[in-house]
Amino acid sequence: MRVEDFPATSRGEAREVPGQGYVAYYPASVPRRVDYTDRLVSQLDEATGALHRLAGVGRLLPNPNLLIAPYVRLEAVLSSRIEGTQSEITDLLRFEAGDDESIGELRDVQEVRNYIAALNYGIERLAGGFPLSLRLLRESHERLMTGVRGSHATPGEFRRSQNWIGGSSPSDAVFVPPPVDAMNPALDDLEQFLHDRSVPLLIHLAMAHYQFEVIHPFLDGNGRLGRLLIPLVLIERAVLPQPLLYLSVYLERNRNQYYDLLLRTSRTGDLEPWISFFLRAVSAQATDAEERTVRLVELQSTMRSQLLEERVSMTVVRATELLFSTPYVSATSLASALDVTFPTAQSAIDLLVTRGDLVETTGRRRNRFYFAQGIFDAVYGTATEPAEQQPTLIET
């Protein structure tokens, strides 16, 4: 990182760290006003409308749990994939159902599980009246990083030493966040900005995410926590009733541009390209989530009507509804979820296998697991397909 690559702008500047022999980026305070171009206004209107439509659909869900769990899984898996975690949705589903034997890399699955735990924890704290704050970010980070790669990096604590992005040391890094003495006031400013209402919410979110990534306040897990901040703000502001927006799907598919725009903003001081990209991401994923939600509610209603016409037991009907949230089950996990006996659960599974709704996946005589491929495809679609591109400049 060189001073000449990050000249002084309204967003900050690169300076030599006194007595250290390397250059770091010193961010300016988050601006409380933004100059809007016509394009940005149009994109803001489009993204805001898409988000409001998604919120409306979410509030009308007959069973909100139908989609909360799948959408949180999508966000968790794709946000973790951006950081190099290779876990798939199917690995996570197997883990949740108790089928550890079929999972290739448990460590990656645990990282995704930690993301879900951190997000759920943050939502619960907000629901209990706790403010969106640096303390909440630290507590969420502790749950994100405990027991996984990077757990040595003081989970739940802001860093007390210099970190860097790319390269083997701060001297040859692509980007060096502010040193600790500059990080702390920058964090205080960010915390104040989180409660600021002077700019439209989605632009506020884009700026907050950028600033968090620039500050890079933890030794590890900054990218995931910075993305986790987005649904927390949307829920704290009561814009979304549940975490229905899986923005990391777009960010992962456009990983190169995502990283490069964050870096470019620090180099040029121009926020508009980054904000424009962020608004496009919100528009795309809010629209996708709205359309997906409508399709799934209609599919669930159709399947329920068919089952009732066939005069099957209510256990079978309830089991089918559960498959939209958890399409990988065993008789044991189904019995626990529906509060029925093991034989009753197995009988429901056998009927769904006969109908073609479930397929046994293990080939075992005991401890068998079943997968609802059709429902899985309807719920997750192509959202989990890996991006063809690979990250270039920044690993966050």
Instruction: Reply yes or no on whether the pLDDT at 388 is more than 80.
Output: no
Instruction: Reply yes or no on whether the pLDDT at 73 is more than 60.
Output: yes
Q: Does 272 map to a domain?
A: yes
Instruction: Give the closest residue to 367 by CA, choosing from 342, 387, 385, 396.
Output: 342
Average pLDDT, rounded, for the chain:
91
Instruction: Give the closest residue to 117 by CA, choosing from 92, 99, 135.
Output: 92
User: Are residues 314 and 214 located together in one domain of the fold?
Assistant: no
Read off the CATH number of the domain in which 161 is found. Answer: 1.10.3290.10
State which H helix or E strand residue 141 sits in: helix 134-145
Predicted model pTM:
0.92
The residue type found at 264 is R
Q: Does 339 map to a domain?
A: yes
Cβ neighbours for 134, distance < 8 A, ≥ 6 positions apart: 158, 187, 188, 190, 191
Task: Select from 259, 291, 323 the last residue of a domain.
Answer: 291
Work out the number of other CB atoms within 10 angstroms of the CB of residue 120.
15
Tokens of 163: 């970190």
User: Are residues 48 and 96 located together in one domain of the fold?
Assistant: yes
User: pLDDT tens for residues 205-223?
Assistant: 999 999 999 999 999 999 9
Work out the number of other CB atoms within 10 angstroms of the CB of residue 31.
15
The residue type found at 105 is E
Instruction: Reply yes or no on whether the pLDDT at 390 is more than 70.
Output: no
- Over residues 187-213, the mean pLDDT reads 97
Instruction: Reply yes or no on whether the pLDDT at 389 is more than 50.
Output: no
Instruction: Reply yes or no on whether the pLDDT at 179 is more than 50.
Output: yes
User: Are residues 88 and 188 located together in one domain of the fold?
Assistant: yes
**φ, ψ at 388 (rounded to 5°):** -75, -25
Q: Does 394 map to a domain?
A: no
User: Are residues 166 and 108 located together in one domain of the fold?
Assistant: yes
Q: Could you tell me if 58 and 207 are in contact, meaning their C-beta atoms sit under 8 angstroms apart?
A: no
Per-residue model confidence (pLDDT) at position 150: 59
Per-residue model confidence (pLDDT) at position 369: 95
Q: Does 299 map to a domain?
A: no
Q: Could you tell me if 338 and 317 are in contact, meaning their C-beta atoms sit under 8 angstroms apart?
A: no
User: Are residues 206 and 91 located together in one domain of the fold?
Assistant: yes
- Over residues 39-46, the mean pLDDT reads 97
Instruction: Reply yes or no on whether the pLDDT at 394 is more than 50.
Output: no
User: Are residues 51 and 129 located together in one domain of the fold?
Assistant: yes
Sign of CA dihedral 100, 105, 107, 110: negative
d(C-alpha 31, C-alpha 304), whole Å: 52
User: pLDDT tens for residues 223-235?
Assistant: 999 999 999 999 9
Task: Select from 291, 319, 336 the last residue of a domain.
Answer: 291
User: Are residues 162 and 14 located together in one domain of the fold?
Assistant: yes
Read off the CATH number of the domain in which 373 is found. Answer: 1.10.10.10
User: Are residues 325 and 275 located together in one domain of the fold?
Assistant: no
Q: Does 303 map to a domain?
A: no
DSSP string across 36-95: PPHHHHHHHHHHHHHHHHHHHHHHT-SSTHHHHHHHHHHHHHHHHHHTT----HHHHHHH
Q: In b/e form, how buried is each residue of 293-330, taking b as 16+ CB within 10 angstroms?
A: beebbeebeebeeebeeeebeebbbbbbbbbbbbbbbb
Q: Does 305 map to a domain?
A: no
DSSP string across 331-378: HHHHHHHHT--HHHHHHHHHHHHHHTS-EE-S--SSS--EE-HHHHHH
State which H helix or E strand residue 27 sits in: strand 23-27
Q: For the chain, what is the domain count?
A: 2
User: Are residues 76 and 179 located together in one domain of the fold?
Assistant: yes
Per-residue model confidence (pLDDT) at position 148: 81
User: Are residues 216 and 130 located together in one domain of the fold?
Assistant: yes
Residue 23 three-state SS: strand
Q: Look at the block and give the residue holding tokens 């990218």.
A: 223
Residue 9 has what DSSP assignment? Answer: B
Domain hosting residue 325, numbered range: 310-380
pLDDT band, residue 77 (cuts 50/70/90) = very high
Instruction: Give the closest residue to 77 by CA, choosing from 68, 69, 87, 67.
Output: 87
User: Are residues 168 and 234 located together in one domain of the fold?
Assistant: yes
State which H helix or E strand residue 14 sits in: strand 12-16
Work out the number of other CB atoms within 10 angstroms of the CB of residue 4.
7
- Over residues 141-145, the mean pLDDT reads 96
Q: Does 359 map to a domain?
A: yes
d(C-alpha 53, C-alpha 66), whole Å: 18
Torsion-angle region of 98 (φ positive above 0: left; ψ -120 to 50: alpha; else: beta): left
Using only C-alpha atoms, the chain has a radius of gyration, in whole angstroms, of 23
Per-residue model confidence (pLDDT) at position 103: 62
Task: Select from 291, 319, 344 the last residue of a domain.
Answer: 291
User: Are residues 212 and 354 located together in one domain of the fold?
Assistant: no
d(C-alpha 289, C-alpha 151), whole Å: 33
pLDDT band, residue 393 (cuts 50/70/90) = very low
Q: Does 393 map to a domain?
A: no
